[in-house]
Amino acid sequence: MSKKMKLYSGNEMVAQAAIAAGCRFFAGYPITPSSEIAERMSKMLPEVGGRFIQMEDELASMAAIIGASLAGRKSMTATSGPGFSLKQENLGFATIAEVPCVVVNVMRGGPSTGLPTTPSQSDVMQARWGTHGDHPIIALAPSYMREIFDETVRAFNLAEKYRTPVILLLDEIIAHLHEGVALPDADEIEIVNRKKPTVPPEEYQPYADTEDHVPPMANFFEGYRYHVTGLSHNQKGLPETNYEVVHNIQVRRQKKIDEHLDDILKWEEIDMADAEIAVLAYGSIGRSATDAVKQLRKEGVKVGLFRPLTIWPFPEKRVAKIAKQVKTIVVPEMNLGQIVLEVERVAKSDAKVIGINQVGGVMIRPREIVSKVKEVA
């Protein structure tokens, strides 16, 4: 029997998927255009035994989900623009303390208060480098409603699997767009939970290196007492300044991401086999690019689409291979040039890289991508 289609907005889909992934704690503060996520979570969490808290600000919201995660609850917060900026200090804490959590950023026009009700893709570099210091991060950028469901679930799974915060990047367009979706049954959804210690409490080291570089994580209140700090620390979690100890733990945190790219990276390709021109697009502009590529193919233009769902880590090996295949890569994005810089870095001189950059709260439409591709064809 076919599943029943239901109408969801992107924000509603995030909440639906979070509950399905096992999220049982949400702390947030209302901010356009992400507020519907908090509203939906406030209604759904009590129905499954979870907790919703509206905090006094975004700093406290980030702190609250870190605390809930340490206590064993899959946790999420959602924000936009200025709120994402305010979360950066505690996002860094979650990174160094290796606390799994999901942070949703529904991008809007900026900087500062900017354009609160219009779309943007201008937080992409902030998602990678917003918090200070060397740190690994995972950021996902879906384009379609079912993808939002799948990538939200995957965000929780990756957070739990690699003991790391994961950022889910939407933008105002797909956050408020409504589409009919048939959701999977619960037994069709892969759920990953954090690796637990197998040693007694007195032998547990919360930041010890392991074969996969991801230490087991004991929840608070389960008999394991350990120290959690934003300071550089040793394998027991105690503050440490010794160069060798600090260096090794920081490198291990990077390795747990870098050595599992086959599991973390995800993308879609359309008509890339014989493409002479590639369009690289993500988020809502990935939808425009898909339509543009289909139209251009009907007109005989050998163009293909590469649409990364994992923005960070950047899929540089695949993009480098594409650059050796095509003569030009066109990168449309609603900012003044962010991911295009990564494409240029990876492509080197193998392909010409051209950006289509637009700000001001108006999306890049298929016809604008079609026009640019024809211009360079």
Q: Are 309 and 140 in contact (CB under 8 A)?
A: yes
Tell me if domain 6-188 and domain 268-376 are identical in fold.
Answer: yes
| Superfamily name and number for 6-188 | Thiamin diphosphate (ThDP)-binding fold, Pyr/PP domains (3.40.50.970)
Interval 308-334: pLDDT, tens:
999 999 999 999 999 999 999 999 999
Q: Cα–Cα distance between 39 and 28 in angstroms, integer?
A: 10
The SS3 call for residue 7 is strand
Q: Decide: helix, strand or coil at residue 279.
A: strand
Rounded Cα distance, 368 and 80, in Å: 27
Provide the pLDDT for residue 3: 78
pLDDT, position 273: 97
Q: Strands 101-109 and 165-171: what pairing?
A: parallel
Give CA separation, 349 vs 138, 287, 323, in Å: 28, 28, 8
Domain boundary assignment for the chain: 6-188, 268-376
Q: How many Å apart are CA 359 and CA 64, to the nearest integer?
A: 34
Whole-Å CA distances, 117 to 10, 15, 142, 291, 320: 15, 20, 20, 25, 36
Give me the chain's average pLDDT, please.
Answer: 97
Give me the mean pLDDT over the 193-212 stretch: 96
- Reading the block at residue 300, the tokens are 């005989």
- What is the structure's pLDDT at 104? 98
Angle of CA points 225, 226, 230, to nearest 5° = 150
Residue 232 pLDDT > 70, yes or no?
Answer: yes
Question: What would the pLDDT profile of 45-55 be if each residue is shown by its tens digit?
Answer: 999 999 999 99
- Assign 2 a pLDDT band (cuts: 50, 70, 90): low
Where residue 163 falls (left for φ over 0; alpha for ψ -120 to 50; beta otherwise) is left
CATH of domain 268-376: 3.40.50.920
What phi and psi, each to the nearest 5 degrees, are found at residue 231? -75, 155
| pTM (2 d.p.) | 0.97
What is the spatial distance between Cα 64 and Cα 61, in angstroms, rounded to a whole number?
A: 5
Task: Indicate if the pLDDT at residue 219 is higher than 70.
Answer: yes
Cis peptide before 33 (omega within 30 of 0): yes
Segment 342-371 mean pLDDT = 96
pLDDT 10s digits, 34-86: 999 999 999 999 999 999 999 999 999 999 999 999 999 999 999 999 999 99
